[in-house]
Structures are given as structure tokens and as C-alpha cells.
Amino acid sequence: MSIFVFVINFIHSIAASIWIGGCFLMITISMSQKFKLIENYQSIFQTISFSLRELVSGSMILIFLTGIIMTIQKLSLVQTDTGYSIILGLKIILSLGIIFRIWQFRNSGYPKYSKNYLEWILGYNSFAIYGVLIFFLADLLENIV
């Protein structure tokens, strides 16, 4: 059983690193002025973006599935209180919200927002911010127990 838990935790950690790293890589590339000086930067960006988007989306599916297994395993071992339940609920709601937004983006395209702050709150780049928030909530859950 401990090998199974180790493998699940390992897969979860690797997938989370790919997700956050991929999101930050795309943000860095999209904001880089030097990258925009390349002659065909838009086609290069689209190629990188498509490949990385598939990798990040796959890692998010792995995070979600392994997260379910880890949550069930953790809840079976610890006595939970109200604070733990609230933080876990926030983490689950945030995770489901991200999955819904990705599904929505894939079905309707990736919208562009007129204001930069809306792009950071609602756009594809917002997944990096929400990912860091989920990491923060996971750390809180570890420290509560």
C-alpha cells in the first residue's frame, strides 16, 4: 500500500510541476519582447503553445485524478475538523472551476480580453495563478493535520 501511495504522490507532484512550469513558461514567452523580434514569432508561438497546452492539460487531468485518490486516502487516515473541511472544499471548488474553464476554452476557443487584469483573472494565464493558490491551500491542509 505504501508503494501505491508513493507512486500516486510522485505522479501528482510531477504533473503539478509540469502544469505550473508550463503555465509560467508560456507567460514568460508571451511577455518577452526579445521573442517578439523573431521574424515568424507568431507561428513559432502557436506551435509551442499548442504542444505545451496539450501537455499542461494532460497534467491537469493527472493532478485531478491523483488528487481524488490522495484526498480519499488522507480522509481515511485523519480526523477532520471544520477548518480542514473548509480549506479542502475551497481547493476542490477551485480545481473544478479550473477544469470547467479549460473545457469551456476548448469548446469555445480562447477568448481575448480587452483589459490586462481581466486576462490575468479569467484568461488562460490565470491558471498559473490559480495553480499557485491550490499549492498554497494544499500546504495549509498538510499543516493543519
Please give the chain's pLDDT, 145 residues, in tens.
789 989 999 999 999 888 888 878 887 887 788 877 888 888 888 888 888 878 877 888 898 889 888 888 888 877 778 888 898 899 889 988 887 887 777 777 667 777 777 777 777 777 778 878 888 898 888 887 6
Tell me how far apart the alpha carbons of residues 19 and 56 are, in angstroms, rounded to a whole number: 5
pTM above 0.85, yes or no: no
69 sits in which H/E element: helix 41-77
Tell me how far apart the alpha carbons of residues 58 and 26 are, in angstroms, rounded to a whole number: 16
Instruction: Quickly list DSSP for 35-53.
Output: GGGSTTHHHHHHHHHHHHH
| Number of Cβ atoms within 10 Å of the Cβ of 133 | 14
What are the structural domain ranges in the chain?
2-144
Categorise residue 109: left if φ over 0, alpha if ψ from -120 to 50, beta otherwise.
left
